[in-house]
Structure 1
Amino acid sequence: MGVLKGKTALVTGGSRGIGRAVAERLARDGARVAVHYGSNEAAAEETVGAILAGGGEAFAIGQELGVPGDAEALWKAFDAHADGLDILVNNAGIGTSAPFSSIGEEEYERIFAVNTKAPFFLAQLGAERLRDGGRIVNVSTGLSHAAVMPELIAYAMSKSALDTFTRYLSKVLGPRGITVNAVAPGIVDTDVNAGWLRGNEEAWAGAAAMSALGKVGEPSDIADVVAFLASHDGRWVTGQWIDATGGSLA
């Protein structure tokens, strides 16, 4: 603990899954962490409690994403607790979508509102608060680089746009020493995947077989990559899409 001492981080969707693992890891490294949640306040408070119990610092802020004014409202809540930012992790997202043949306009627009539009404006308003030398990490997906699950076409498209945003934003904020990167998980054992993955031996074996390492990813596997990019050690990496799929695309 200590490499992020004195730093303040915001992790969107930080109450569960990958977001919780990221929040807890950044806190262990010394950062004061804002744990954002969209609707599950109890889960966010549980995450904050776990961080505090481990000797870290954290606070919860709630704001639904994908609605008008979401970024402004989220930052207003953040400003009530902190006077600046060093690390922004855009993790919150909608993880599933209907297939091409049946997805409707409302669901399509919702996916892009949460996965693409929200990170854009969170970063835009967050840049005013982000100190020079700061970090932005966007959580993408391996599906933006490989069409292995064509039924998730809209989701993959929304994350592909996020990847492009990452590259361009690195040029915009680079003169301030701020790095911007995207981390792309593969199949990870989270609540989002629980319905089809947990308790189904065939599904679990199939998911594990996709990885060159022969296992299903864990939230901590992704959190550790994010932590590297957020640290001083990641200072010379920017504008990159980091494959954190466990070799699923190899």
Structure 2
Amino acid sequence: MHKTYGILILASFMVAGCSATQVKQANLGKIVGPQESRLILSTKNTVNVGDVMLRAGEYSKEGIKLETETFNLKDSHTTHLRHRQHTFTFSIPSGEYRLYSQNPNGSYYASEQTFSGLNGTKDGYGGLFVPNGSSNATEFYWNWNKPSNLLSAHQAELITPISGSIGKTSTVEKSRNSIPSATLTYAGVANGQVRFAYREFTDQGMARPAFTQEVALDYKPGSTYSYKSALFKVYKADLQSITFEIINPLY
């Protein structure tokens, strides 16, 4: 009687173990976009009297640097996940995983590649979860359907953490404004002063007369000048042209 009772208890634990799940709903937290910073694309410039020196949002003078944190895998891996009576097997590719979102416990890095399903498992889309202060991915998250933005996902603990390295990747985009909202034009040198004309424009590119100013600053070769948001160094200025370097663009 006692032996039979013991067998029944053991069997019940075995069933419970088989039906237990490793899979949970992912807490993706807050989506993290690339960090933007303005980047000066030009160095020294020379323009003639009457030519524009600076344009707010000018394509050739400034760009936008987009920087994203990454989790990098040197080697590919295979993971097995048990959910109720099913075992899912995925191939985790090597490469660069970009930071997608963060919660209080860590960061979710997304793969641009598909997670290939093995042994009858469908392909998945997602990435890896890395706890705060660690360079090891401890969990895997995925969605069965390819999303434009991953809003929900399944998540499961990896049997063996995957070691990687935290890094950054960056791209540079040219400024997106096609019509400048303001310009600074070189107006020559007179009486020991270097002169400029500042103009503001409407969204249609029309000059706004009330926002046109003549600017005269004491001239000294090699000096740095500021006006509005612009900061620039003047190497040489005369009656014909000016040679300068943009430090901070005109917005």
TM-score, L = length of structure 1: 0.20
TM-score, L = length of structure 2: 0.20
Higher relative contact order (CA 8 A, sep 6+): 2
The answer to which structure has the higher strand fraction is 2
The answer to which structure has the higher helix fraction is 1
Q: If you compute each CA radius of gyration, which structure gives the higher value, 1 or 2?
A: 2
